[in-house]
Structure 1
Amino acid sequence: MSRRIVLIRAVNVGGAKLPMAELREIAESLGASDVSTYIASGNLLCTPPSDTAAFDRALEKAIEDRYGYFREVISRSVEELRDALAAHPFDVVEAKFSYVYALTGAPTKEAVEA
């Protein structure tokens, strides 16, 4: 299994505290190795167990159980992120204003139209 970037949205803002040392411990307790975090962002790099979707869901549950709030976890491989950036359909005027938003699955037609 290769290293993945694990994104956890909206932590360490609005009272949703998630200490990075504890996040690393949680990820390791779920079977991840080579775990490191990036500043206090809630993002980490790790090599998860082979079932990455199950790891993401387990990390969500562990955070909710421990801290009392739910945060969606989305992980991507380096290759998946490179592909997403390469497929960016818009002209980039300033790179710092270009965004790629990761989803856990394909949105429904209704969600796209909303």
Structure 2
Amino acid sequence: MTSYAVFLRGINVGGINIKMADLRQALQDCPFTGVKTLLASGNVVLASELEPAAVKDVFEACLRDSFGYDAWVVVLTADRVAELVNACPYPADDKSTHTYLTLASDPAALDELFDAAAALDGVEQTRLGPEATAWLAPAGGTLESPFSKLSAKPKYKASTTTRNLRTMIKVRDAAVAEPAGK
């Protein structure tokens, strides 16, 4: 049994509203155990005997069938979430900037996004691995930041999602707090 973190793309924004209790209910018939939701922004920790790609497929199919929208998720093992949080060189709490991690289910899409952001002025980013990049945005100006505008393009919608580092720390802590399968 492996512990996973599942990051949903685009829920509770843009008209796709899912209550976390409804999400847990929808997932009850899936091959997952210990399902916990965190915050209302689409973060789930769970355990499964499935491989990551299969967790992604089952989870997305459940969302489509239960809530009727084109669902995309990024699935990482709990251990990988911890590695990414630990590798992030930026602070979790800073008065002038906010740290974000953009996660991808398609490393090629993240490669393209990273390279495109490198060509923009004012983008500070660090590649954490094939599935994640960390970047900074000015406090109070995240949505207007160059990286945020770039990553919001439709071509990245199906393969990327972004979380602030504080959320990633909460997901890491929840995923490792309960051993897989409990």
* TM surpasses 0.5: yes
Could you tell me which residue of structure 2 aligns to residue 98 of structure 1? Answer: 99
Task: Kindly report which structure 2 residues correspond to 1:55-94, keeping only aligned pairs within 5 A, or say none.
Answer: 55-88=55-88, 90-92=89-91, 94=94
Could you tell me which residue of structure 1 aligns to residue 131 of structure 2? Answer: none
Shift of 1:112: 4.7
Contact 2:55 2:75 survives alignment (8 Å)? no
Could you tell me which residue of structure 1 aligns to residue 11 of structure 2? Answer: 11
Q: Distance in 2 between matches of 1:91 and 1:58?
A: 34
Could you tell me which residue of structure 2 aligns to residue 47 of structure 1? Answer: 47
Q: Deviations over 1:26-51 (max 9, x none)?
A: 22211100111113222111112322
Could you tell me which residue of structure 2 aligns to residue 107 of structure 1? Answer: 108
Moved over 3 A (4+): 90-93, 108-114
Q: Distance in 2 between matches of 1:68 and 1:100?
A: 28
Could you tell me which residue of structure 2 aligns to residue 30 of structure 1? Answer: 30
Contact 2:35 2:47 survives alignment (8 Å)? yes
Q: Distance in 1 between matches of 2:26 and 2:48?
A: 12
Give aligned pairs, total: 113
Question: What TM-score do the two structures reach when normalised by structure 1?
Answer: 0.79
Opposite residue 102 of structure 2, the aligned amino acid is Y
Larger strand proportion of the pair = 2
Contact 2:56 2:74 survives alignment (8 Å)? yes
* Sequence identity percentage: 25
Structure 1 SS opposite 2:44: strand
Opposite residue 98 of structure 2, the aligned amino acid is F
Opposite residue 35 of structure 1, the aligned amino acid is V
Question: What TM-score do the two structures reach when normalised by structure 2?
Answer: 0.53
Contact 2:38 2:44 survives alignment (8 Å)? yes
Opposite residue 87 of structure 1, the aligned amino acid is A
* Pair 1:68–1:83, CA change in 2 (3 A): same
Contact 1:26 1:59 survives alignment (8 Å)? no
Could you tell me which residue of structure 1 aligns to residue 177 of structure 2? Answer: none
The farther-off stretch of 92-101 and 63-72 is 92-101
Q: Deviations over 1:53-104 (max 9, x none)?
A: 112112112212222211211122222012212333x554829711222111
Structure 2 SS opposite 1:107: helix
